[in-house]
Amino acid sequence: MSPRSARPRPTTGKVAQARAATARARLAAQQEQAARRRRRLLWVVLPVALVMIAVGVLVVVRVAGGRPSASPGVAAAPAADSVVSTVTSVPASVLDTVGAGSVRTPPQRIDAPALTEGGKPRVLYVGAEYCPYCAAERWPMVVALSRFGTFQNLGQTTSAADDVYPSTPTLSFHGSGFTSTSVAFTGVETEGNELVNGRYAPLDTLSATDQQLVTTYNAPPYVSSAGAIPFVDIGGRYLISGASYDPSVLKGKTHEQVAAALADPTSPIAQGVDGTANLVTAAICATTSGAPAQVCQAAGVQAAAKALP
């Protein structure tokens, strides 16, 4: 073999460049294929991950009770006997001394068909346990109606903690009863004060007849704002929309403290609650032809009647 044929053939620069270019192209193709696989995997995995996260959140909420950790209210419980006894027996002398008290918005006169039940004028109250204005208005409603009859199974609760006048102490008409020989009463609490899946839990349902009454009279021109609560129809002759006095007088008080204050005619609570009770009593007396006389002729009721339109 000649020396020339035994010597390796040198690789030219062009050949080396071509091989390098081929290697780079092969590597780029492999990288692109890997990127496509990652993108396909992401489109599959991401929705599944999102669903799993959402399910996890729902499970946590369900375990926590289906509501925020800061509870917006306290579930109603049977009212304490001491509270009911005190609120339903405010001394007549105190009510006479208070008169119309510090009432800001007296019942308004309406021209509507008589609201009756069993031959007796009927009082319809529509509210909700979360509502702070309803919380304020229930106290005088119980004081006033107790002059005509007897309540059974009143509840005890507070308004919602995340509303104006938070956690206002109050009673509840949900599940209660009322007996009287002179007047009928319907107390409707449409919603509670605890959130369930972001909404206040439903409680009582209005009858079709009462719903039509509310639709008609809980709207302008009878009230300034349609659907406001509390809404109270007194025998088809007077109505109340909203709180009659300043709910702030109840701020920070316990149920026992509110009840006790009703016997002190100089207290802001008695001025608001007892004053409203006298006005409600006067409005009821206008539907009962002044019966019973010992109630309707009381000095405090007569004084409050002068504030009725």
pLDDT of 221-257, one tens digit each?
A: 999 889 999 999 999 999 999 999 999 999 999 999 9
Long-range interactions of 110-115: CB distance < 8 A, separation 24+: 110/217, 110/222, 110/236, 110/237, 110/238, 110/239, 112/216, 112/217, 112/233, 112/236, 112/237, 113/236, 114/235, 114/236, 114/237, 114/287, 115/213, 115/233, 115/234, 115/235, 115/236
pLDDT of residue 225: 85
- Residue 18: its pLDDT value, please? 56
Q: Please state, in angstroms and rounded to a whole number, the distance separating the CA atoms of residues 26 and 294.
A: 106
pLDDT at 97: 98
Q: Is the pTM of this model over 0.85?
A: no
Residue 58 pLDDT? 37
| Residue 55 pLDDT | 39
Distances (CA, A) of 59 to 45, 51, 66, 283: 21, 12, 9, 52
| pLDDT score at 278 | 98
Task: Provide the pLDDT for residue 37.
Answer: 60
For the record, the structure tokens of 299 come out as 């000095």
Whole-number pLDDT of residue 35: 57
Count of other CB atoms within 10 angstroms of residue 261? 22
β partners of residue 152: 177
At which residue do the structure tokens 């496509």 appear? 36
pLDDT for residue 73: 61
Which of 130, 158, 162, 168 lies closest to 246 in space, CA to CA?
168
Residues in the chain where the model's pLDDT stays below 50: 1-11, 41, 43-46, 48, 50-51, 54-71
Q: What is the pLDDT of residue 106?
A: 97
Residue-level pLDDT at 191: 97
The residues pairing with 241 across neighbouring beta strands, listed in sequence order, are: 231
- Name the residue among 251, 295, 292, 245 with its Cα closest to residue 270: 245
